[in-house]
């Protein structure tokens, strides 16, 4: 063992805390530079400390490896903490992406990128992660298409999609009769070439 001072079960606990997937005894042994028998003993000790009801975390054996999980008793508190909608102010990229999805839905990532003139991967994933947009199938060309969610309507105080404000007052050429989608794509292409 290389981290000489620390008992092996402490190091194992730290490793399981950091790992996103279950870790096998062999992998633990290699990382700790210890034998598998030593790791087994450490796992036993740890399992005793982290058995249900003893602490907030429990040691579990799943899928051929070891992992830490939260005690089921904490579930409702976890839901209250984590299921709260996150609503920091939207960045320019997020607001643009969201407005495209809101007004054109369903709309695909490539279309969003063409209209904005830049790849919009990170704005799309943030909006998706925050539950403002969701996947709603695939386009003719096989690309995932997006639409807004009921959470979106709630956070924007909208009674429905038909309550979205008319963009006319912000429209530089409101007299243009063409369809909104076509106009946005055209403007995006022009921006891309300048």
Partner 1 sequence: MQASDLDLDLDAFSGPFDLLLALVLREELSLAEVALGEIVVAYVEHLDREGDLDLEAATEFLVLIASLLELKSRLLLPAPEEDDEPLLGPEEAADELLARMLEYRRYRAAAGHLAELFGTGRRYLYRSAPPPPELRRASLDAARHVYEPASLAEALGGLLRTPPRPDTSHIRPTVSLERRLGVLRELLRRGSAFDFDDAFGSEDRLTQAVTIFALLEMHKRGEATWEQDETFGPIRVTAR
In the complex, minimum distance from the CB of residue 131 to partner 1, in angstroms, rounded to a whole number: 4
In the complex, minimum distance from the CB of residue 169 to a second copy, in angstroms, rounded to a whole number: 26
In the complex, minimum distance from the CB of residue 122 to partner 1, in angstroms, rounded to a whole number: 6
Of 17-25, 116-124, 146-154, 163-171: span binding a second copy (CB under 8 A): 17-25
Please state the separation of Cα 78 from the chain's center in Å: 17
- Whether cis (ω within 30° of 0) applies to the bond prior to 106 is yes
Of 3-11, 36-44, 77-85, 138-146: span binding partner 1 (CB under 8 A): 77-85
d(CA 147, CA 14) in angstroms, rounded, equals 41
d(CA 86, CA 70) in angstroms, rounded, equals 22
Interface positions, 37-96, toward a second copy (CB under 8 A): 49, 53, 55-57, 68, 70-71, 73-78, 80-82
Block residue for tokens 């009921």:
150
Please state the separation of Cα 17 from the chain's center in Å: 20
Question: With contacts defined by CB under 8 A, how many residues of the chain interact with partner 1?
Answer: 73
Interface positions, 160-179, toward partner 1 (CB under 8 A): 163-173, 177
**Cβ atoms of residues 67 and 19 within 8 Å:** yes
């Amino acid at each position: 063992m290389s981290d000489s001072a620390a008992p092996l079960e402490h190091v194992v606990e730290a490793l399981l805390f950091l790992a996103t997937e279950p870790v096998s005894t062999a992998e633990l042994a290699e990382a700790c530079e210890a034998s598998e028998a030593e790791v087994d003993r450490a796992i036993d000790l740890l399992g005793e400390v982290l058995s249900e009801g003893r602490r907030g975390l429990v040691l579990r054996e799943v899928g051929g490896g070891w992992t830490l999980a939260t005690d089921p008793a904490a579930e409702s508190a976890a839901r209250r903490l984590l299921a709260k909608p996150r609503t920091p102010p939207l960045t320019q990229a997020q607001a643009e992406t969201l407005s495209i999805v809101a007004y054109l839905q369903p709309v695909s990532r490539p279309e969003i990128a063409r209209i904005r003139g830049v790849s919009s991967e990170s704005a799309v994933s943030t909006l998706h992660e925050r539950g403002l947009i969701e996947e709603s199938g695939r386009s003719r060309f096989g690309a995932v298409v997006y639409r807004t969610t009921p959470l979106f309507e709630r956070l924007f105080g909208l009674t429905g999609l038909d309550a979205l404000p008319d963009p006319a007052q912000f429209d530089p050429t409101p007299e243009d009769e063409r369809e909104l989608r076509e106009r946005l794509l055209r403007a995006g292409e022009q921006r891309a070439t300048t």
